[in-house]
Amino acid sequence: MKKYSFLVMLLAMMLVIAACGDADDNGGDADGDDDQTEETGDDNGDGEEAAADWISDVTVLTGGEQGVYFPLGGAMAQIISDNVDDVSASGVSTGASVVNINDIQDGMGELALVQNDIAYFGQEGMIMFDESLDNFSGIATLYPEVVQIVAMADSGIESVEDLAGQRVAVGDQGSGTEANASQILEAHGITYEDINQEYMDFGDAAGGIQDGNIDAAFITAGTPTGAIESLQANRDITIVNISDDAIENLTSEYPYYTEYTVEGDTYGTDEATTVAVQAMLIASNDLPEDQVYEMTRALFENLDVIEGTHARGGDISLETAQDGMSIELHPGAQRYFDEQ
């Protein structure tokens, strides 16, 4: 019995010694194991958690296919897909600014090109927005979007006042272009009651002028605008001047407007004086800060791709990326600009 008891005790001691040895081999006591786990979390856990929060399929909301938003948004989507790990972006054609802001608000897109005035209206709940929208922030302003009033050269329309009684395309209903049209007409003492307004996108408006179905069109876009170039290739056109007094009134009442000159060689017309707003890129606030930081970095490190897509891409730069910024920057974009 004694011999049996001694053997049991000896076996128990060996098991205890083996267990202690395993603990020492694995980095010490239980606290040591916990420390190792915490260290691993510090090194890798945060990054893995952040990446898990990223939205892998990013939709870039652009505009009509004959505008400037469409090609630039497509180029931006390609840059993001090529340069941001585990993110695939695609540009889609839309009704532009107002539609884009509402879609971002509703979670139907992650990035969007919009006018700076429309972004401001959206967050303030003004003009075409019934309530304040808060699910988007700015990434950067891009280039001037010029309000171009286009008519046939032989139409007799030489001033905004000449639009009275005419058939005029004022942009898609509720669009940024329509807001510009309404404000510019008002600055000249004209309302929709004085014209026959038609709600059309750029392509339809240019086609309407060419076919004689409308007399003039408001088109707010970067220059040169594809729809106007297509029209000019088939018809002699004119770009209508906005009067100096109206420009002064507009820029005083709406500070997001700036005076702009459409040079004669843009479309082979006489030089015209008008106003412009700023195109800008916005992001959904559902996008994590790190992801927006990486996408912003990718865009500004590959501006040559955007410039190669459209002439207006050459206007985009770090130096002007916050000029005319009408809303708060997304934290990810803010961090990127703070580092430059």
Q: How far, in Å, CA of 80 to CA of 221, rounded?
A: 24
Is the separation of the CB atoms in 147 and 180 below 8 Å? yes
Q: Kind of pairing, strands 111-115 and 272-284?
A: antiparallel
Q: Kind of pairing, strands 167-169 and 216-221?
A: parallel
Say yes or no: domain 56-143+279-339 is CATH 3.40.190.10: yes
Q: How far, in Å, CA of 332 to CA of 291, rounded?
A: 7
Q: Which residues of 6-23 are buried (b: 16+ CB within 10 A; e: fewer)?
A: eeeeeeeeeeeeeeeeee
Preceding peptide of 224 cis, ω within 30°: yes
Q: How far, in Å, CA of 146 to CA of 262, rounded?
A: 8
Q: Residue 170 has what pLDDT?
A: 97
Q: How far, in Å, CA of 285 to CA of 111, rounded?
A: 10
Q: Residue 36 has what pLDDT?
A: 37
Same fold, 56-143+279-339 and 145-277: yes
Q: How far, in Å, CA of 106 to CA of 100, rounded?
A: 10
Q: What residue segments make up the domains of the chain, in order of their start?
A: 56-143+279-339, 145-277
262 Cβ partners below 8 Å, 6+ apart? 146, 148, 223, 239, 269, 271, 272, 273, 274
Q: Residue 27 has what pLDDT?
A: 41
User: Considering only CA atoms, which of 254, 261, 275 is closest in space to residue 326?
Assistant: 254
CATH number of 145-277: 3.40.190.10
Q: How far, in Å, CA of 92 to CA of 65, rounded?
A: 9
Q: Residue 50 has what pLDDT?
A: 54
Tokens representing residue 173 in the block: 């209903």
274 Cβ partners below 8 Å, 6+ apart? 146, 147, 148, 149, 239, 241, 242, 259, 260, 261, 262
pLDDT digits (tens, 9 = 90+) for 131-163: 999 999 999 999 999 999 999 999 999 999 999
Q: How far, in Å, CA of 118 to CA of 313, rounded?
A: 21
Tokens representing residue 306 in the block: 């955007």
DSSP one-letter string for 99-115: HHHHHHHTTS-SEEEEE
User: Considering only CA atoms, which of 328, 337, 15, 325 is closest in space to residue 141?
Assistant: 325
Q: Residue 255 has what pLDDT?
A: 81
Is the separation of the CB atoms in 192 and 116 below 8 Å? no
Q: How far, in Å, CA of 328 to CA of 338, rounded?
A: 14
Q: Which residues of the chain carry a pLDDT beneath 70?
A: 1-50
Q: Residue 244 has what pLDDT?
A: 95
For the chain, first and last CA: distance in Å? 83
pLDDT digits (tens, 9 = 90+) for 271-327: 999 999 999 999 999 999 999 999 999 999 999 999 999 999 999 999 999 998 999
